[in-house]
Amino acid sequence: MFATADTGAGVDATGTAARAGALGVPAVGTADEGDGGASGVAIAEAGGGGGGGAGVARGWPAHAPSTETKPASVRRAILARYRITRRLRSTGGRMASAKDAGYMPSMPRVLVVDPGAPDVATIAEAVRVLRAGGLVALPTETVYGLGVRALDERAVEGVFRAKGRPSHHPLIAHVLDEERARDLAASWPEQASRLVRAFWPGPLTIVVGRAPRVPPAMAGGGDSIAIRAPSHPVARAVIGALGEPVAAPSANRYQGLSPTTAQHVVKQLGDAVDLVLDAGPCDTGIESTVIDLRGAVARVLRHGALDTATLRGILPDLESRTEDAREDQPRASPGMAARHYAPRAALLLARTRDEAQRLARGLASNGKRVGLMVRSPPAAASAEVLVRELPDDPAEYGRALYRTLHDLDDLACDAIVVQGVPSDEAWWAIADRLRRASERN
Ligand code: TXA
Ligand code: MG
C-alpha cells in the first residue's frame, strides 16, 4: 500500500539494509528505531526555496544564448562554447561522469524566456516547432513538461520514444480552462466543474472519460483522459498561441528524476527534444495531484502538489489512499510504476536522521561517494558525506526534493541516503516519490 499512518513514511527498512549490503556496507539497525523522524524542528533550507520568479536558471554557465537572430555559423560557435562549459560545470569538471550516468550529452536548442512575461517571438517559435510535429520542453508551475500537440497521434508517439516510456502509460492533456477541457471529455461530471473552478489553473489533474477526437495513444490505449490547466505563464502562452491542447509528461527519461530546471531536461533528454524553453526553476517542484472522477467517489491516483486536505474542502468524500504500485498488479493509473522518479545513484531510505547518518558514514568509510538528505542538522558533520538539509515543511520540501537529488547525482554520488519523512497525509506526495525512487529495477 501507499504510505499510510500505519506503514510510516514508506521506509522499507529491510530493503534499505539489503541495498546497503549490496553497496558493501554491513546492515545497520533499522526498523525499531525512533518515530519515523517527525522531529518537528523547523530548519531553514540551505540554498533557498528556488522560486520561479528570477528568470535565471541556476547552473547554466551563462544563460543559453538566444541565437535566433544570428547567422548559422555564429549560432553554432556560440552554442558549442556554451555546451562544453555547461557540461563541465554540471559534472564538476568530470565529463566522463555524465557519460557514465547514461545521460544524453548532445545539446538541444535552448531559448531563455522570462517566466512572468514570455517574449512573443519565443512563444511563436515554440508553436512553430509544435506545429511541425516537434517536441518542446516547457516549464509548468510543477515540473518541466515535454510538450507535443495532444491531438496529433504521431507527435504523441514521438513523446513516448523520446522518454523511452511504455506506450500504455497515459499522458496529461494541458489546456487553458474548463471549456477547452470539456472538448476532450466524453462526459463531464458535476464534481469536475466544482474542482476545476476551485483549483484551475493549478497543479490539479482530473481523469474523465475520453472524447473520440482524442487519440487513444494519449490514454495509453484506454478510454479515459487526464486533463489539467497549468498556471505557469509560459505554458499558458504556448497553449494559447497554439490554440490546441498540449500533451506534456514530465520531461525526463522513463523512471528518471523529474526536471525542475531546463538543465535537468537537457542532461536527460539531450537533443531528443527539439526546443527547450528555459524559464528558470519551477515554483512547486513536485507534480500535480491526479484525481479519478470516473467512479461514484472521486479518488486520488497520484498524490501531488495540491494536498488532499485542501481538495476535501471541495470534495469531502475524496478517497485518498492509492493502490499498491507493484508492477504485477493492474492499476487505475498505469503510469504509476513501482520504480519511478529515481536518481542514478542508489537511493536508500532510513527511518531517522541518526540512522541515516550512520548508514551514510558506513558507506563513506567503504569508499563510496555518499549524499545525505536530512531535515535537521546531523549530530556531527562528517567531511566525507555530502550533507543536504531540507526544510521540515512538506511544500518547501517538495520544492527542494528533485533539485537536491539532481545536484547529488551531478556530484557523482554512488548512494543518496534520505531520512524518512513524517507519516501524516501532508507528506504523502513526498513519501510516494521517495519510496518509488528507492525501488530497485
Ligand atoms: O505536474 C504534472 O502533472 C506534470 C506537468 C508537466 O504537467 N506532468 C506529469 O506527467 O507529471 P507524467 O506523464 O509524468 O505523469 C502523468 C501521471 C501518471 O502517473 C499517469 O499514470 C497519470 O498521470 N495519468 C495520465 N493519464 C491518465 C489516465 N488517463 N488515467 C489514469 N492516470 C493517468
Ligand atoms: Mg513523470
pLDDT at residue 8, as a whole number: 37
Report how far ligand 2's centroid is from the alpha carbon of 171 (Å): 9
Pairing of strands 144-149, 136-139: antiparallel
With 70 as the cut, is the pLDDT of residue 259 above it? Answer: yes
Atom of ligand 1 nearest to the CA of 203: 1
Kindly identify the ligand whose nearest atom is closest to the C-alpha of 150: 1
Distance CA 25, CA 18 (A): 9
Mean pLDDT of 421-436: 95
CB 249 within 8 A of CB 336: no
Q: ∠ CA(144), CA(150), CA(153), 5° rounding?
A: 125
Report how far ligand 2's centroid is from the alpha carbon of 10 (Å): 20
Give the dihedral of Cα atoms 115, 119, 125, 127; nearest 10 deg: 70
Pocket test for ligand 1, best of 172, 232, 288, 299 (most atoms within 8 A of CB): 172
Sign of CA dihedral 343, 91, 65, 161: negative
Mean pLDDT of 250-270: 96
For residue 200, what is its C-alpha cell? 484551475
Structural domains of the chain, with CATH:
13-50+339-437 (3.40.50.11030), 72-278 (3.90.870.10)
Atom of ligand 1 nearest to the CA of 220: 29
Kindly identify the ligand whose nearest atom is closest to the C-alpha of 235: 1
Atom 24 in ligand 1: which residue has the minimum CA distance?
170
Mean pLDDT of 261-279: 96
Atom of ligand 1 nearest to the CA of 144: 6
Atom 20 in ligand 1: which residue has the minimum CA distance?
335
Report how far ligand 1's centroid is from the alpha carbon of 396 (Å): 22
Residues comprising the chain, all counted: 441
What percent of the chain stands above pLDDT 90?
67
Mean pLDDT of 406-428: 95
Strands (E), 203-352: 204-209, 224-228, 246-247, 275-278, 289-292, 299-302, 346-350
Atom of ligand 1 nearest to the CA of 250: 14
Report how far ligand 2's centroid is from the alpha carbon of 111 (Å): 23
User: 75 pLDDT band (50/70/90 cuts)?
Assistant: very low
Report how far ligand 1's centroid is from the alpha carbon of 407 (Å): 24
Report how far ligand 2's centroid is from the alpha carbon of 248 (Å): 9
153: amino acid identity, one letter: E
Atom of ligand 1 nearest to the CA of 286: 1
pLDDT at residue 136, as a whole number: 98
Pocket test for ligand 1, best of 287, 329, 339, 340 (most atoms within 8 A of CB): 287
Q: What residues have CB less than 8 Å from 344, skipping those under 6 apart?
A: 101, 102, 409
Condensed to tens digits (0 to 9), the pLDDT of residues 179-236 reads: 999 999 999 999 999 999 999 999 999 999 999 999 999 999 999 999 999 999 999 9
Report how far ligand 2's centroid is from the alpha carbon of 391 (Å): 23
Report how far ligand 1's centroid is from the alpha carbon of 63 (Å): 30
With 60 as the cut, is the pLDDT of residue 74 above it? Answer: no
For residue 19, what is its C-alpha cell? 541495498
Atom of ligand 1 nearest to the CA of 222: 29
What percent of the chain stands above pLDDT 70?
71
User: 381 pLDDT band (50/70/90 cuts)?
Assistant: low
Mean pLDDT of the chain: 80
Report how far ligand 1's centroid is from the alpha carbon of 377 (Å): 35
Atom 12 in ligand 1: which residue has the minimum CA distance?
249
User: 16 pLDDT band (50/70/90 cuts)?
Assistant: low
Pocket test for ligand 1, best of 290, 294, 341 (most atoms within 8 A of CB): 290
Condensed to tens digits (0 to 9), the pLDDT of residues 308-325 reads: 999 999 999 999 875 443
Atom of ligand 1 nearest to the CA of 284: 1
Model pTM score: 0.80
CB 7 within 8 A of CB 1: yes
CA end-to-end distance (rounded Å), the chain: 19
Atom of ligand 1 nearest to the CA of 301: 32
Pocket test for ligand 1, best of 199, 224, 333 (most atoms within 8 A of CB): 333
Residues touching ligand 1 (Cβ under 6 Å) are 140, 142-143, 145, 169-172, 203, 205, 207, 219, 222, 224-226, 230, 248-250, 287-288, 290, 301-302, 333-336
pLDDT at residue 34, as a whole number: 27
Distance CA 191, CA 404 (A): 37
Report how far ligand 2's centroid is from the alpha carbon of 377 (Å): 31
